[in-house]
Structures are given as C-alpha cells and as structure tokens.
Amino acid sequence: MPCSGRCDEPIPVLTAHTTLAGESAATLKPTPSPLPPANPSGNEEALFSNIRKQGHNTLEVYQDNGGFKALESSLKEGPIHVIEVVTKSKLAGRGGAGFPTGLKWKAVAECDRHPKSIVCNADEGEPGCFKDRALMDYDPFSLIEGMTIAGLATGAQRGFIYLRYEYPETNILLERCVAKAKEAGLLGSNILGSGFEFHLYIRRGAGAYICGEEGSLLNSLEGKHPFPRNKPPFPVTHGFEDKPTAVNNVETLCAIPHIINKGAEWYQSLGIGEHAGTKLISLSGDIKQPGNYEIPIGLPLKTLLYDWAGGPLDQRSIQAVTMAGLSGGFLGHQILDDLTLDDPCIRSHGSFLGAGGIMVFDDSRNMMKAAHDAMAFFAHESCGKCFPCRIGTQRLTERLNDDSKKLDLAAWTEEVSDINEAMKATSACGLGMAAPHVTESLMKYFPEQVKASTNSNS
C-alpha cells in the first residue's frame, strides 16, 4: 500500500490477502504485499533485519535501530577502507548484471575527472519485481545512507535516485526523507562536521521499461531520449554528463550500511556454501504466500516455494516459474527439484536470476499464452533503436498468437529459432538479448504445448 507521503509516520501495511472492493476473497488469488512477511526460516537477514519494525521509515526510529552508524564509521575510516570492505564482502549488483560493487566503486574513485555521481537505479519496471519498492517505502534511510557512503568512497558529491514514474507516493516519501536527513546534518555540506559534501536529488523516471537499462537511464536523466548507449565507454568513466558515475540498484545500496556495520566476513557468511550474501526475491503468481523474501544465495528453489511460501494453490501443481521477472524466461517443473537460487546454477539451465522476480504458473495455465503475453510486453516496451529488437519482438509475438496455426511445427521452430539467434547476437541492449529466453524456454520445456498450437498435422 502506498505511503501517506510523510516520512515521520509509519506506512500502513497490506496483508498478503487484501481483496478488491466488491470481490470476495474466494475469487481472488493472494495479492503480494510489498512489506515482507515474518522471517519464514529463522535464517539471519541483512536488508530485512529491521524493515518490519513499526516506524522504521522515520529518521528517529531508523537511528534508534542503528541507522547512520555506518556513515559515521565510514567518515572516520575513509574511502579506501570502505571500498576494501565492500570488495571483500563480495557484494555484486542486485539489479541483474551482478558486477562486483567494490570494483565499480574503485574504478570511479580512481578516475580523475569531476564531478562524479552516484546514480540509484530505482526504475523497478521488470514484471514481477516489487522488492525495491518495499525498501524505499519501509526502509528509505538505508538507501540514503548507502548512497552517501558510496559518494564518500568514490569521491562523488552528488547523487540521483532515478525513481520509477509509477511510484508517486514513494517519490513524496523520499523527498521528505531527504529533507529530514539534510536537516539533521546527514546530507548536504559538511556532513556530521567531517567536511564531506554530498547532495541527493530525486528524479522521476520517464515511465518506460527501457529506462531501467543503464544507458537509457542515464540518457533519460540528462533529458535525452532514453536510447541505450554503446559500450565502451562505460559509466564508471563516462556516465552522467559524460563524467565518472557509479550506477547501483536500490537493493545493492541498501546492503551497504549492514556490510559496513557488521563486516565483510559476516555478509559473506549469509550465503550457502561458496555463495556470498543474500538476495531479495519478489514471489508472485500461483502460490499461497506471495511476497518479498530475503534468501541466502544458493537456497534451493523448492525450499522457497514450498517451505516458505506454502506451495501451489489447492488442487494444483507448479508447471513453471519465471526467472528475472520475465527476462529470464521460464523454467519448467522438470528441473525444479535440482534448482538453487544462484546464477551459476540458473545459468546452467539457460536463464539467470537477474533482479529476483519469480512468477509461478500452475498447471491450469496455457504456457503458449503466457509466452505470448510476455513477448507482447517486450514488443510494446522496445525502444526501437535497433531493428533486431524492434522487429524481432513483433515477429515473435505474431508467432505466439493464433496465427501460429498457419505454420507446421518444423517451419515454426526454424523461424522462431532464427529470430532468437539474430536478436541475441545483434540487439543493442539487454531487452533484445533477453526476450528470446521466453521462446527458447517455451520450446525447451513445453514442446507439447507448442505442437498443439501449431499445425500439428504435418
């Protein structure tokens, strides 16, 4: 539920079974709540360790819970120490790319061009993802603290939160929280009497999915058309206004105060086996207890689905799940027993964890239609800069609708596979490269549904 716009009042809490006016609970599937449910496992959490506490989105309660202690210690220890701790923690980007955060900050810090910037990618447009909204609504000061520490580490004196256009209430909350922090001497000039200067600004996004892509975001932030940028050069040397810029996701930045307070070894230990840290997962779809969960990286997917989230709805079984919202395509029920929530395992099956949106499809779902709807979304949101994505997503959408009956299975498969390969090899950004995961995974895990939707008399 959106906040009231005041950062000195707690946000009302949605239950996981809130219903729409005039409809009975019996006719509706559970509605995910941005606020995470009570810790279902007892495992130690990082980002969600304080978020459920009443009033944690106020400055007073945040400070009562240890807020801004990490900033104080960072100011004393200095930028080099901060980068060392973040690097040793093995924190990697939680927006999808997974680039080591410490290395990114070090590259910006070592660049001698100014002014430098910290940009928070809060354009949470991936379908099935709503974990960044939870952090901003219920723990906004951790984002402010994390960005300020990032500014100290890199030598940046300005930061921008590029906020999803569809989060207007969050925008009001963040604006007031920034004002509170500035009033308390935690932002602006001479922070906590240290001489360090960091100014933070909120900018509403352009309302397009493509603006979540790093280059498109930076172009939009500069007032330009949100087309992806060619790389190299990379934002760490040529980012906002062509100056050194660290672009990090909300989740990544909110992890920083916890890592500084408790240490790199502590954060590493939260993962399972060789994996370091935790990951926020937004779980939705045909599941009894949808919502946001903080998992140790490496957790078996079935543990999340069945032990934590209660399993599928009554009299149903899980047919498929998406990874990375829609960008990672589908993973079929055939492999769910062996799947762990970490990139090496998921990539071995042709997908990736990405931003952490998982949608569940039970056995009542037509996966051909699900794939069509996903591809239609990508076609609608393609920026149009490159023709492989602009045309390819349209052609794939057509091949997933009723016109597929006009082709025999062999011709359909050959054409779709050819489009998939061309898009992956030549698209200008991740949208065009990721969209083929939908059709590839459909053919891989649901060949019988593909056959039934084409001219199967051949």
Residue that the structure tokens 């996004």 belong to: 205
Q: Note the pLDDT of residue 129.
A: 95
Q: Is the peptide bond before 232 cis (omega within 30 degrees of 0)?
A: yes
Q: Determine the pLDDT at residue 30.
A: 61
Residue 443, SS3 per DSSP: helix
How many C-beta atoms surround the C-beta of residue 111 within 10 A? 18
Model confidence over 430-450: pLDDT tens digits?
Answer: 999 999 999 999 999 999 999
Which among 326, 455, 437, 443 has a CA at the least distance from the CA of 381? Answer: 326
Q: What is the pLDDT of residue 14?
A: 34
SS3 label, residue 182:
helix
Q: What pLDDT digit, counting tens, does each position of 116-161 carry?
A: 999 999 999 999 999 999 999 999 999 999 999 999 999 999 999 9
Range 214-220 contact pairs with CB under 8 angstroms and sequence separation of 24 or more: 214/97, 214/121, 214/247, 215/429, 216/383, 216/429, 217/119, 217/121, 217/123, 217/162, 217/247, 218/119, 218/245, 218/247, 220/162
- Location of each CATH 3.40.50.11540 domain in the chain: 25-269
How far apart CA 64 and CA 58 sit, in angstroms, is: 10
Question: Is the CB of residue 87 less than 8 Å from the CB of residue 100?
Answer: yes
The contacts of residue 359 (CB under 8 Å, 6+ apart) are 127, 128, 284, 285, 321, 322, 325, 326
Quickly tell me which residue has 């099956």 as its tokens.
349
Distance CA 142, CA 251 (A): 10
Q: How far is it, in rounded angstroms, from Cα 161 to Cα 67?
A: 19
Which helix (H) or strand (E) segment holds residue 264: the answer is: helix 264-269
Q: 């928070």: which residue's tokens? A: 120
**Segments of the chain with pLDDT less than 70:** 1-31, 403-405, 456-458
Instruction: Say which DSSP state 277 is in.
Output: S
Confidence (pLDDT) at 441? 97
| Numbered ranges of CATH 1.20.1440.230 in the chain | 367-453
25-269 has which fold?
A: Rossmann fold (3.40.50)
Residues of the chain within CATH 3.10.20.600 domain(s) are: 278-362
Among the four given CATH numbers 3.50.50.60, 1.10.10.10, 2.102.10.10, 1.20.1440.230, the one describing domain 367-453: 1.20.1440.230
Residues forming beta bridges with residue 387, ordered by sequence position: none
Tens-digit pLDDT profile for residues 47-101? 999 999 999 999 999 999 999 999 999 999 999 999 999 999 999 988 777 899 9
Give how far the C-alpha of residue 394 lies from the chain's centroid of Cα atoms, to the nearest Å.
25
**CB-CB contact of 312 with 53 (8 Å):** no
Report how far residue 1's alpha carbon sits from residue 3's, in angstroms, rounded to the nearest whole number: 6
Residue owning tokens 């990874």: 323
CATH 3.30.70.890 fits 278-362, yes or no: no
Look at residue 13 in the predicted model and tell me its pLDDT.
35
Q: Can you give the pLDDT at residue 456?
A: 63
Residue 31 is predicted with a pLDDT of 65
The structure's pTM equals 0.91
pLDDT score for 19: 30
Of 23, 56, 39, 49, nearest to 291 (Cα)? Answer: 39
